[in-house]
């Protein structure tokens, strides 16, 4: 976990800003991101794989705020978009479309046209029917579409089943055993230009070994392609590099690089990475306020104003996030369930968690929420979505206003 969040005089700071000052001025719940933390994570990733001819594409799905997209684009990163909405955000952020990869297992014809109209770097294709569809649309638009084919290497990433993407049972990619047939078919279509081969085996992967297995399979496949006269410009190994959450092993990207570089340097073309979580997760916190404390049948609860609609990872993945008091506490620790106000038993942040005794109006920080936090939030129970704030040194700015009650019914008609 990066060190951009630290206690100073018993107050939790993000860079040079007291988080209590943000909570008191903007209210809670509020997402707070560290610009320095995100840039440090990007540089760490870049440096780890510096020997390679590479392109690092920030995966927008991790955190799609346009200020965050621009932050990475300004560093020179490419951008990985998975929908027309994400592509729209990237373009509005000022990203050069030639550095945008357009992905997705179920692209609509509208999305394909939008991507081609905006001259994206390439579209990643995941089925034979999608190859036919893109070729037809490109023909209608009188252009040649640059595409890469995503293969499913059938490798177990040893991660949560909901975020595993490289097994044969997953919906993603074309079975690697059908890969040669897919490339031959693609090269036979006059309005497609095949430029790469791709994979993505999962998310929050904490060991390099699944990558090693998958890359070996992918490079063996590339060698077989060359034997039938099909050459490619790039190999995309995807993202999914894990980060340090509470009670998980310490993860060092240099360990991944040590294992992967000898393999990746065998490829003469460009290597593409698509990190998302690694670049943003540990640079974000969710500020929340204690509403009530109570005990039921020997169970102690701390009820806060953040809920599953604000942050669904605990409910969806049983994710274990560290919780900190904004004012460093020397009170005795008690075991509690930290829960929200939503009308669901699954509305919790942590269960059976040891936390210094909480009182009403105490301010807490849910750590490591810079990825898959706000982007997965909703208006369930007609709750307004949170504000987002970016800290830069001693200053902070709102990069998304808290929704109003009028926003909740915008577009609805009686």
Closest-CA residue to 398 (of 389, 407, 406):
389
Closest-CA residue to 158 (of 46, 248, 48, 274):
248
CB 276 within 8 A of CB 202: no
* First-last CA distance in the chain: 49
CB 110 within 8 A of CB 134: no
Annotated active-site residue in 57, 81, 343, 358: 343
Could you tell me the CA-to-CA distances from 47 to 43, 161, 257 in Å, in that order? 6, 31, 10
Closest-CA residue to 285 (of 5, 1, 3):
5
Q: How far apart are CA 339 and CA 347, in angstroms?
A: 6
Known active-site residue 343? yes
CB 286 within 8 A of CB 29: yes
Q: Which residues contact 169 (CB under 8 A, 6 or more apart)?
A: none
Closest-CA residue to 233 (of 261, 273, 197, 183):
197
Q: Coil, strand, or helix at residue 295? A: strand
Please identify which residue in the block is written with the tokens 């046209």: 113
Q: How far apart are CA 288 and CA 406, in angstroms?
A: 23
Q: How far apart are CA 221 and CA 151, in angstroms?
A: 10
CB 166 within 8 A of CB 153: yes
What are φ and ψ of residue 286, in 5° steps?
Answer: -115, 115
Q: How far apart are CA 208 and CA 103, in angstroms?
A: 24
Query: What one-character-per-residue DSSP string does 140-183 give?
Result: HTTS-EEEEEEEE------S-GGGB-SSTTSSSSEEGGGHHHHH
- For the annotated catalytic residues, the residue numbers are 343
């Amino acid at each position: 976990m990066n060190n951009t969040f630290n206690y100073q005089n018993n107050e939790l700071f993000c860079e040079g800003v007291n988080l209590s000052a943000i909570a008191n001025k903007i209210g809670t719940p509020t997402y707070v991101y560290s610009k320095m933390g995100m840039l440090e994570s990007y540089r760490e990733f870049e440096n780890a794989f510096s020997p390679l001819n590479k392109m690092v594409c920030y995966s927008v799905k991790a955190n799609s705020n346009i200020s965050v997209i621009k932050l990475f684009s300004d560093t020179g990163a490419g951008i990985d978009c998975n929908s027309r909405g994400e592509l729209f955000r990237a373009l509005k952020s000022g990203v050069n479309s030639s550095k945008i990869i357009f992905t997705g297992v179920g692209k609509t014809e509208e999305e394909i046209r939008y991507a081609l109209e905006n001259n994206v770097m390439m579209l990643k294709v995941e089925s034979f029917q999608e190859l036919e569809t893109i070729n037809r649309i490109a023909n209608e638009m009188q252009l040649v579409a640059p595409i890469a084919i995503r293969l499913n290497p059938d490798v177990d990433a040893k991660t949560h089943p909901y975020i595993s993407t490289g097994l044969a049972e997953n919906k993603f990619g074309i079975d690697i055993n059908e890969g040669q047939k897919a490339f031959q078919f693609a090269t036979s279509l006059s309005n497609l230009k095949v430029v790469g081969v791709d994979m993505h085996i999962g998310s929050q992967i904490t060991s390099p070994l699944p990558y090693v297995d998958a890359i070996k399979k992918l490079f063996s496949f590339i060698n077989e392609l060359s034997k039938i006269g099909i050459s490619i410009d790039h190999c995309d190994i995807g993202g999914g590099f894990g980060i340090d959450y509470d009670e998980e092993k310490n993860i060092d990207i240099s360990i991944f690089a040590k294992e992967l570089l000898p393999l990746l340097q065998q490829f003469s073309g460009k290597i593409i990475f698509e990190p998302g979580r690694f670049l943003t997760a540990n640079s974000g916190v969710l500020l929340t306020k204690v509403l009530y404390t109570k005990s039921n049948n020997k169970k102690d609860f701390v009820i806060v104003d953040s809920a599953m609609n604000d942050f669904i990872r605990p409910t969806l993945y049983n994710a274990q996030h560290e919780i900190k008091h904004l004012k460093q506490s020397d009170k005795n620790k008690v075991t509690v369930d930290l829960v929200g106000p939503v009308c669901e038993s699954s509305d919790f942040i942590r269960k059976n968690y040891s936390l210094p005794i909480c009182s009403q109006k105490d301010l807490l920080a849910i750590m490591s929420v810079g990825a898959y936090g706000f982007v997965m939030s909703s208006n369930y129970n007609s709750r307004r979505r949170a504000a987002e704030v970016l800290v830069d040194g001693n200053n902070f700015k709102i990069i998304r206003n808290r929704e109003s009650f009028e926003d909740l019914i915008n577009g609805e008609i009686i």
